[in-house]
Amino acid sequence: MSWILLILGGLFEVAFASCLGKMKETTGNTALMWGTGFVVCLVISMGLLIKATQTLPIGTAYAVWTGIGAVGTVLVGIFVFQEPATFWRIVFITTLICSIIGLKAVSSH
């Protein structure tokens, strides 16, 4: 169950980073809406991380949480914000994904 909470927390990290990206593109009430989404997703993400670390090792949980957030945010950047998908970006994102899977595999929980 802790791993599910951690994965959900990582996805909410992607959501709060995406809200930040949309917020910088807008003004007025629309920016306020994206800012509110940022705060809500941030609180949920942190809450899920806190809950997951009650049973998972903090180092592993934090690395996986930030890894999910990083990979997800790069993918959102590429597919939503039309950021470049260069060869080296893909290589390093793939390396990060392999590292996240490795951490999960060697975790004792």
- pLDDT above 70 covers a percentage of the chain that reads 98
pLDDT of res. 106? 86
Q: In this structure, what DSSP letter does residue 82 have?
A: -
Task: Provide the whole-model pTM.
Answer: 0.86
Above 70 in pLDDT, residue 108? Answer: no
Amino acid at position 90, single letter: I
CA distance 49 to 26: 29
